[in-house]
Amino acid sequence: MATTLTTKVLVIGGGPGGYVAAIRAGQLGLDTILIEGDRLGGTCLIRGCIPSKAVIHAASVFKEMADKTGAGAFGISLKEPPALDFGETIRWKDGIVGKLNAGVGALLKKAKVRALMGWAVFSDAKTCTVETSDGPTRVSAEHVILANGSEPVELPSLPLGGPIISSTEALSLEAVPKRLAVVGAGYIGLELGIAFRKMGAEVTIVEALDRILPLYDEKLVTPVKRWLERAGVTLHLAATALGSRQQRGEFALIVATRDGGEIDIPADNILVTVGRRPRTQSWGLENMAVEMAGPFVKIDNQCRTAMRNVWAIGDLVGEPMLAHKASAQGEMVAEIISGKRRTFDPVAIPAVCFTEPEIVSAGLLPAEAKDRGIDIVTGIFPFAASGRALTMAAGDDGGFIRVLARRDNHRIVGIQAVGAHVSELSGEFILALEMGAVSEDIADTIHVHPTLTEAFHESVLQTLGHAIHI
């Protein structure tokens, strides 16, 4: 016989959407149960954001050391090339994941959230059954927060298994593949492709569109393209992955190229990164009477679904599929359930690509401003003119900061950057947008010298027509 539990708030999924919702609900004194079928932390912490950034960091350290072999740079050289034990790198990454996973468990406990480990299957909108290690448990709740997340999209012609891998397996390989073919030039494919190139893999990237990182404009993406070229990454654009074959003992990706030809790309691994889709199967969503918006669960601006007191957040509800969006929605829903008045109405949701160099985008891109009929003035400051960038040997990668401000009232509507370390500037960018800053607000803010933030100040000065250092 199943144990039966009742609760005020039931959260499904322990990713950055679900665990944040549960902690906030617990903090607000709401009786809360969280159910997770895999490991606390979800995609982001266990097989996404955190592991990928750890591997990217290790790859960059290795590349920097490899570049210093022989003649070296600025007086630093290595006599021998550095050695890489990728298995050890993965164990280091697993250690970080383990710490954060335990941390989430401790935070849930501190907030008095009951965490159940097992796969939840709903029989109706407010009742699910979980197969826990102690047997089946039935949970019914007044409020249900769905934070089931997403899973990688598979290509029928390249079913995952063996040498054909998704980002999950790529982040747990025992050795760096000698030859890696990446299918899909979105941010996950590029981040991982670049990291493996830095660690010595021969990397080929195949993309069906005729450009990489299609969410960004050409100018922003150019420094990344330049890095790929210089690093010897082969790029096949407007090319389609048709499948794989084993021929004369060699495994290869079959690709239809732009000119109508067909080529084999020999590879030890094929990494498929063609997107992610919301996880809507095999947990009884069809029994909950919620409405759908395409593949996603449909929500309003408070993350309410069509079923009363069933809420949905994170990757399950749509783009952008980013951890910080999921967390912001989770926190908000917990507060609404506790009686606070909240709506999800951010000015913008910033996004970062941890490529080489990094890209940040917050707010409108130039084409988006144009589409909305906003007359903008643009300020651009190149890192080649930033003292701080030069002191970090980061001035020659083509990086820059770009600010878009309305011509009429100088309100800043978009900020983008490409360059080394720019991910850490994203906080200032989004704060400026969320606070409704006009160019004069940033111009009158004293920025620390020497830091990369000065380049933001300068690009804003440029929108006012009086940048100092350019």
* Catalytic residue numbers, as ranges: 449
Report, in Å, the least distance between residue 299 CB and ligand FAD.
12
Among 9, 58, 59, 120, binds ligand FAD (CB under 6 A): 120
Output 147 or 418, the one with its CB closest to ligand FAD. 147
Q: What secondary structure does DSSP assign to 299-356, as a single string? A: --TT-B-SSTTEEE-GGGG-SS--HHHHHHHHHHHHHHHTT-------S---EEE-SS
Output 51 or 419, the one with its CB closest to ligand FAD. 51
Q: Work out whether 186 is an interface residue with ligand FAD (CB under 6 A).
A: no
Output 89 or 148, the one with its CB closest to ligand FAD. 148
Mask for 294-333, x = binds ligand FAD (CB under 6 A): --------------------xxx----xxxx-x-------
Look at the alpha carbons of 284, 286, 287, 288 in this order and tell me if their dihedral is positive or negative. positive
Among 101, 150, 439, 453, binds ligand FAD (CB under 6 A): 150
Report, in Å, the least distance between residue 276 CB and ligand FAD.
6
Name every residue whose Cβ is closer than 8 Å to that of residue 120 and which is 6 or more positions away in sequence.
12, 35, 37, 128, 129, 130, 139, 283
Residue 362: how many other CB atoms lie within 10 Å: 26
Bond prior to 163 in cis (omega within 30° of 0): no
Output 333 or 415, the one with its CB closest to ligand FAD. 333
Query: Of the ranges 147-155, 177-185, 196-204, 250-258, which one interacts with ligand FAD (CB under 6 A)?
Result: 147-155
70 three-state secondary structure: coil
Among 148, 453, 459, 462, binds ligand FAD (CB under 6 A): 148
Among 114, 119, 318, 390, binds ligand FAD (CB under 6 A): 119
Query: Of the ranges 47-55, 194-202, 235-243, 448-456, which one interacts with ligand FAD (CB under 6 A)?
Result: 47-55
Output 314 or 419, the one with its CB closest to ligand FAD. 314
Among 7, 27, 32, 52, binds ligand FAD (CB under 6 A): 52
Report, in Å, the least distance between residue 265 CB and ligand FAD.
22
Q: Work out whether 395 is an interface residue with ligand FAD (CB under 6 A).
A: no
Cα(369)–Cα(379) distance, integer angstroms = 14
Pull the structure tokens for residue 228: 């790929």
Q: Which burial class, exposed, middle or buried, applies to 270 when counting CB atoms under 10 A from its CB (0-12, 13-18, 19+)?
A: buried
3-state helix, strand, coil in the chain (%, to 5): 35, 30, 40
Measured at the CA of 197, the angle between CA 194 and CA 201, to 5 degrees, comes to: 145
Query: Judging by DSSP bridges, how do beta strands 358-363 and 351-353 pair with one another?
Result: antiparallel
Pull the structure tokens for residue 136: 């089946």
Output 239 or 328, the one with its CB closest to ligand FAD. 328
Q: Work out whether 67 is an interface residue with ligand FAD (CB under 6 A).
A: no
Beta bridge mates, 181: 204, 270
Look at the alpha carbons of 377, 383, 387, 389 in this order and tell me if their dihedral is positive or negative. positive
Q: Work out whether 48 is an interface residue with ligand FAD (CB under 6 A).
A: yes
Residues 243-282 that bind ligand FAD (CB under 6 A): 279
Report, in Å, the least distance between residue 194 CB and ligand FAD.
13
How many residues bind ligand FAD (CB under 6 A)? The answer is 35
Residue 281: how many other CB atoms lie within 10 Å: 11
Report, in Å, the least distance between residue 149 CB and ligand FAD.
2
Q: Work out whether 49 is an interface residue with ligand FAD (CB under 6 A).
A: yes
Cα(30)–Cα(24) distance, integer angstroms = 9
Q: Work out whether 35 is an interface residue with ligand FAD (CB under 6 A).
A: yes
Binding site for ligand FAD (CB under 6 A): 12-18, 35-38, 42-44, 48-49, 52, 119-120, 147-150, 167, 188, 279, 283, 314-316, 321-324, 326
